[in-house]
Amino acid sequence: MNKIKLAIISSAALLGVLTMVPSYVGASPASEIKGGVDAVGGNETQTTTDANGNQTTTTVTLADRIKTIVNIMLYVLGAIAVIMIVIGGIRYTTSNGDSSSITGAKNTILYAIVGLVIAILAYAIVNFVLTSFA
């Protein structure tokens, strides 16, 4: 029964990925994508005035916004991972030699570390994609 569930879930995931592939296979070159983002308002010009009355104009791009969102999410995920590692450590020290408690504590620590590694890899992938289209 578990193999059937696994096959159904795998098939659904594969179908979901395959439905997105045609839109990426025929994608335009990076300059056309960037031009399309600019055309729909992806960039915003901000003017700031300092205390001396000098005006500074900066352009905030869509890539900058995405990087900011990803950075915030990475910081939050890092904090959650540290908290989960501490909780796993507390569970490990208070297990009193119970093998099931020790296993649960080790799994908590392991899953927190795996989640942190996946988050760092996602951060690297997002930055790579954003810099290749900039």
Could you report the per-residue pLDDT of 62-85, keeping only the tens digit for each? Answer: 777 778 888 888 888 888 999 999
Tracing tokens 């908290």 back to the chain, one arrives at 83
Angle CA(119)–CA(105)–CA(93) in degrees, nearest 5?
125
Q: Cα(89)–Cα(105) distance, rounded to whole angstroms?
A: 7
Indicate whether 37 pLDDT > 70.
Answer: no
Spatial CA neighbour of 102 closest among 110, 111, 93, 115: 93
Indicate whether 23 pLDDT > 80.
Answer: no
Q: Cα(130)–Cα(69) distance, rounded to whole angstroms?
A: 13
- What average pLDDT does the segment 1-11 reach? 73
User: What integer best gives the mean pLDDT of the chain?
Assistant: 78
Indicate whether 131 pLDDT > 60.
Answer: yes
H or E element that contains 110: helix 99-133
